[in-house]
């Protein structure tokens, strides 16, 4: 990666606007990416500058400042060095990469090997987060890792919006009065924290019944895997490989309080029409708020 190049985000948008825009818009959030079981997973929320897992590092992921890795399988982490290297090539600021604490040391070794081969700095901020731990991303956003159940160590992430609201007793005061109270040390606001985005990565359906995961099931948008969608594969097969079957989501339908559910990580055995048919056949309580990420299928 010898020379610096122009940041692709600064290029004229005329060429991109002429192409058909890919992705979805869910609950006001644009969502992009690809997720095919065993091949690659990268789910992008560009308005939040976030990507979940990095697959083969799709081009659109490079401009995201925060990257959350759910586990160490190659179809979820394989593009990590390219993501960091390409941001450096385009002279972007070093990204923040959040990984399960259990794999942080190995990820550090991965970067050491690539530095030795590539002679690039590969600047980034690597953070290991354990289940239940939180990280403040910026003033209005924080993230917490939650427990998932896969064949290797894994975890999901909940992104919370953080807002300051004026306490009721001070509503109606003038600006000068509010300023005076603040200068005198009075706490005039309180914090409202709301789960906005939850991402599971690969997991069995057991995460649904974990009492510690209540915020996952009430996040505005839940991005969850549904590797198998019809009776061509059994629930038992899904569980044996650490995955979720769509029929299990139906079985737990009453637990999901989410405004929207985005299904990802479909097995490569399925055609797009099969996935869409399975989603259309969902009970009305689910069908009205379930989306499928089928880009690339």
pTM value > 0.85: yes
The predicted structure's pLDDT at residue 67: 98
Which residue did the predictor score with more confidence, 208 or 189?
208
Task: Report the alpha-carbon distance of residue 146 to residue 128 in Å, rounded.
Answer: 13
The predicted structure's pLDDT at residue 8: 56
User: Is position 192 within any domain?
Assistant: yes
Domain with 264 in it: 29-292
CA angle, 123 as apex, 120 and 127 as ends, to 5°?
A: 140
Length of the chain: 297
Residue 111 pLDDT > 60, yes or no?
yes
The predicted structure's pLDDT at residue 178: 85
The predicted structure's pLDDT at residue 15: 40
Q: State the CATH number of the domain containing residue 110.
A: 3.60.15.10
Task: Report the alpha-carbon distance of residue 169 to residue 83 in Å, rounded.
Answer: 49
For the stretch 140-188, pLDDT in tens is: 999 999 999 999 999 999 999 999 888 888 888 888 988 898 899 888 8
User: Is position 197 within any domain?
Assistant: yes
Residue 13 pLDDT > 80, yes or no?
no
Cβ(144)–Cβ(194) under 8 Å?
A: no
Nearest to 287 by CA among 277, 274, 297: 277
User: Is position 60 within any domain?
Assistant: yes
- What DSSP designation does 169 have? G
Beta strand 221-225 pairing with 189-199 = parallel
User: Is position 240 within any domain?
Assistant: yes
């Amino acid at each position: 990666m010898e020379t610096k190049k122009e940041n692709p985000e600064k290029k004229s948008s005329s060429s991109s606007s002429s192409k058909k825009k890919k992705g979805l818009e869910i609950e006001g959030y644009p969502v992009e990416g690809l997720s095919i079981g065993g091949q690659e997973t990268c789910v992008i929320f560009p308005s939040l500058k976030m990507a979940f897992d990095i697959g083969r590092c799709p081009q659109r992921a490079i401009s995201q400042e925060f990257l959350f890795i759910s586990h160490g399988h190659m179809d979820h982490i394989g593009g990590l060095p390219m993501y960091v290297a390409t941001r450096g090539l385009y002279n972007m600021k070093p990204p923040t990469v959040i990984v399960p604490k259990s794999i942080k040391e190995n990820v550090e070794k991965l970067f050491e090997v690539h530095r030795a081969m590539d002679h690039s700095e590969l600047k980034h901020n690597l953070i290991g987060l354990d289940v239940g731990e939180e990280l403040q991303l910026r003033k209005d956003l924080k993230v917490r890792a939650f427990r998932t159940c896969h064949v290797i160590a894994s975890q999901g992430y909940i992104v919370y919006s953080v807002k300051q609201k004026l306490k009721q007793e001070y509503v109606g005061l003038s600006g000068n009065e509010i300023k005076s109270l603040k200068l005198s040390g009075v706490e005039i606001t309180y914090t409202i924290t709301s789960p906005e985005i939850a991402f599971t990565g690969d997991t069995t359906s057991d995460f649904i019944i974990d009492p510690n995961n209540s915020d996952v099931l009430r996040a505005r948008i839940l991005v969850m895997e549904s590797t198998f969608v019809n009776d061509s594969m059994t629930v038992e097969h899904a569980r044996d490989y650490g995955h979720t079957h769509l029929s299990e989501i139906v079985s737990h339908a009453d637990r999901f309080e989410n405004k929207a559910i985005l299904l990802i990580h479909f097995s490569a055995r399925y055609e797009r029409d099969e996935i869409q048919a399975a989603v259309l056949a969902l009970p009305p309580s689910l069908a009205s708020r379930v989306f499928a990420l089928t880009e690339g299928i």
